[in-house]
């Protein structure tokens, strides 16, 4: 029997986090196939150099102060604090005086140290020696087990343990969501780029196989591996993909729908919904440009931006908060629950998704599975997901999205080649089963034998014909 040890460390330690990857991990874990004669799927975490089986991802109800949650909150407050600082720097008198900006920075630095950095350091010390959570139990690994790194493992500190497991005969399978920090570092925090690059070096050396969340990303992973470790090493690894599911888990089903969201949908004007973390690669500025053009022509269409505030977006957030259409034809919600998000999907006119680059695009399938049509940027992975059921716009020209919005507003007809009545996507149960099946398929498939290195040509042999130009083979 093969045991798949499905890692979910970050989600286990941060049960209330609910961004894209956390939603994927939580849903896959909850829908893992049942044990049978051929394999067993076991959710696991790696804590303090040891392996544990997860019994529950949900936090225990306890009257005690949750130090882990407090640590996460303090980090979020720190990010917001420095976002406000950068906004303030661009206002008078700070934008006009280097001395004033310096004074502001020193004061903010002192305040952040006393109120944020110092408490975070204290919590880190307290949490370092905390007992193992009651939601998991020790697990003894066996040779032949397969450790499936499902969570966002580039932030992890369990690499020594994973390497020890491999020495003990445990296979390593890495789930890859995207490679965005490598080819597009301009869209990411500098710290993330460094950490992600180091992680990919580690995963390239350590993993036996790779499962991406789309064929687009699978091919990118193989190409990056060829560049880093060469064709001989790549030949000894396997590469596959699975697709994500579409339902919201609604773990907060008893939560109330956001009152501001309810109020927005009380009027009949069309609502175009954008769901994502606010960060550069999601291209929210393009949305604003396109809708401002529509509003200038008299459109009553409304733009609703739903997602937490991320990185490198302070100018954009300020643009939204000071926009003359805010809470009239422009709305922003940064802390919507899944229940509120479900309400938005059910009542919006269409989803708009203008990303420059994506690994998948989970909001697309969440929306379309609920009958909400989607407009997306014309990039390969969106074509892979949406096919002829989506409408596409040109990222080089905001007017192309403006035209889609105003045409739909005028005609009431969604501008896609095919209607959503025939469209169907995987459930999370099917997605989780697909992930397991793809792993098993590759584990049972023999890898090709390595080809021997070509012998060097004799000096007496005629040289091969060179291309006419040094750029002849360039794309």
- The string of pLDDT tens digits covering residues 418-475 is 999 888 899 999 999 999 999 999 998 876 654 544 444 433 333 333 333 323 333 3
Q: Is residue 147 part of a domain?
A: yes
Q: What is the spatial order of strands in the sheet that 271-275 belongs to?
A: 330-333, 302-306, 271-275, 350-353, 374-377, 391-393
Assess whether 353 and 418 both reside in one domain.
yes
Assess whether 20 and 165 both reside in one domain.
yes
Q: pLDDT truncated to tens, each residue of the chain (475 aa)?
A: 899 999 999 999 888 777 788 889 999 999 999 999 889 999 999 988 999 999 988 865 544 556 666 777 787 788 778 777 877 888 888 888 888 888 888 999 899 888 888 888 887 777 665 555 678 999 999 999 999 999 988 877 889 999 999 999 999 999 999 999 999 999 988 888 999 999 999 999 999 999 999 999 999 999 999 999 999 999 999 999 999 998 876 555 567 899 999 999 999 999 999 999 999 999 999 999 999 999 999 999 999 999 999 888 889 999 999 999 999 999 999 988 888 999 999 999 999 999 999 999 989 999 999 999 999 999 999 999 999 999 999 999 999 999 999 999 999 999 999 999 888 899 999 999 999 999 999 998 876 654 544 444 433 333 333 333 323 333 3
How far apart CA 363 and CA 273 sit, in angstroms, is 10
Assess whether 41 and 185 both reside in one domain.
yes
Assess whether 308 and 403 both reside in one domain.
yes
Question: Beta strand pairing status for 50-54 and 39-47?
Answer: antiparallel
Q: Is residue 79 part of a domain?
A: yes
Q: Give residue-wise pLDDT tens across range 193-229.
A: 999 999 999 999 999 999 999 999 999 999 999 999 9
Number of structural domains the chain divides into: 3
Assess whether 181 and 267 both reside in one domain.
no
Q: Which residue has the tokens 């004799």?
A: 458
φ and ψ at residue 287, rounded to 5 degrees: -60, -50
Looking at residue 464, what is its pLDDT? 33
Q: Of 393, 422, 451, which one is at a domain's C-terminal end?
A: 422
Could you give the percent of the chain with pLDDT greater than 90? 64
Assess whether 343 and 275 both reside in one domain.
yes
Assess whether 119 and 268 both reside in one domain.
no
CB count within 10 Å of CB 28 equals 28
Q: Is residue 208 part of a domain?
A: yes
Task: Indicate which CATH number applies to the domain containing 140.
Answer: 3.40.50
Task: Indicate which CATH number applies to the domain containing 390.
Answer: 3.40.50.2000
Assess whether 321 and 415 both reside in one domain.
yes
- Residue 445 to residues 49, 135, 145, 217, Cα–Cα distance (Å): 32, 36, 16, 21
Looking at residue 251, what is its pLDDT? 53
Q: Of 422, 439, 455, which one is at a domain's C-terminal end?
A: 422
Assess whether 90 and 204 both reside in one domain.
no
Judge contact between 174 and 156, C-beta under 8 A: no
| Residue 118 lies in domain | 67-128
φ and ψ at residue 245, rounded to 5 degrees: -80, -175
Give Cα 353 to chain centroid, integer Å: 14
CB count within 10 Å of CB 290 equals 25
Q: Is residue 327 part of a domain?
A: yes
Looking at residue 156, what is its pLDDT? 78
Q: Is residue 452 part of a domain?
A: no
Q: Is residue 184 part of a domain?
A: yes
Judge contact between 356 and 276, C-beta under 8 A: no
Question: Beta strand pairing status for 271-275 and 350-353?
Answer: parallel
Q: Of 108, 128, 148, which one is at a domain's C-terminal end?
A: 128
Assess whether 265 and 225 both reside in one domain.
no
Q: What is the spatial order of strands in the sheet that 238-241 belongs to?
A: 136-138, 50-54, 39-47, 2-7, 146-149, 171-176, 209-212, 238-241
How far apart CA 57 and CA 249 sit, in angstroms, is 13
How far apart CA 3 and CA 42 sit, in angstroms, is 7
Assess whether 322 and 355 both reside in one domain.
yes
Q: Is residue 253 part of a domain?
A: no
Q: Is residue 475 part of a domain?
A: no
Looking at residue 228, what is its pLDDT? 92
Question: Beta strand pairing status for 50-54 and 391-393?
Answer: unpaired
Assess whether 354 and 235 both reside in one domain.
no
């Amino acid at each position: 029997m093969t045991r798949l040890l499905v890692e979910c460390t970050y989600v286990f330690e941060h049960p209330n986090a609910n961004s894209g990857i956390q939603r994927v991990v939580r849903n896959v874990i909850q829908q893992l196939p049942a044990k049978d004669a051929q394999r067993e799927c076991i959710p696991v975490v790696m804590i303090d150099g040891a392996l544990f089986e997860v019994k529950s991802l949900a936090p225990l109800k306890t009257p005690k102060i949750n130090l882990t949650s407090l640590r996460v909150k303090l980090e979020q407050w720190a990010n917001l604090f420095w976002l406000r600082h950068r906004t303030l720097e661009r206002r008078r008198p700070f934008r006009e005086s280097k001395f004033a900006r310096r004074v502001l920075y020193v004061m903010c630095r002192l305040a952040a140290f006393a109120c944020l950095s110092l408490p975070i350091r204290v919590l880190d010390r307290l949490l370092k020696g905390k007992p193992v959570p009651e939601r998991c139990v020790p697990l003894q690994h066996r040779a032949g087990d397969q450790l499936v790194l499902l969570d966002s493992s580039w932030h992890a500190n369990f690499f020594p343990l994973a390497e020890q497991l491999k020495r003990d005969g445990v296979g390593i399978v890495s789930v890859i969501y995207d490679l965005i920090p490598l080819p597009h570092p301009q869209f990411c925090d500098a710290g993330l780029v460094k950490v992600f690059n180091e992680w990919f070096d580690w995963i390239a050396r350590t993993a036996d196989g790779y499962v991406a969340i789309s064929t687009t990303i699978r091919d990118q992973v193989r190409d990056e591996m060829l560049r880093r470790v060469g064709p001989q090493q790549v030949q000894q690894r396997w590469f596959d993909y699975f697709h994500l599911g579409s339902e919201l888990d609604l773990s907060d089903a008893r939560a109330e729908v956001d009152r501001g969201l309810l109020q927005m949908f009380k009027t009949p004007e069309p609502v175009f919904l954008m769901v994502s973390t606010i960060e550069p690669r999601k291209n929210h500025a393009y949305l604003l440009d396109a809708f401002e053009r529509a509003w200038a022509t008299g459109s009553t269409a409304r733009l609703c931006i739903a997602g937490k505030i991320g990185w490198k977006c302070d100018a954009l957030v300020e643009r939204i908060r000071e926009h003359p259409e805010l809470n009239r034809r422009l709305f922003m919600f940064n802390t919507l629950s899944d229940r509120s998000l479900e309400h938005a999907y059910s009542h919006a006119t269409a989803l708009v998704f203008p990303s420059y680059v994506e690994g998948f695009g989970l909001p697309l399938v969440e929306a379309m599975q609920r009958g909400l049509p989607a407009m997306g940027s014309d990039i390969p992975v969106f074509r892979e997901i949406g096919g002829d059921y989506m409408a596409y716009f040109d990222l080089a020209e905001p007017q192309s999205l403006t035209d889609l919005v105003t045409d739909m507003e005028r005609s009431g007809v969604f501008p896609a080649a095919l209607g959503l009545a025939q469209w169907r996507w995987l459930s999370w149960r099917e997605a989780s089963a697909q992930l397991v099946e793809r792993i098993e398929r590759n584990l049972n498939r023999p890898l090709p034998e390595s080809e021997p290195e070509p012998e060097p040509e004799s000096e007496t042999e005629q040289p091969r014909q060179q291309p006419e130009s040094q750029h002849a083979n360039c794309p």
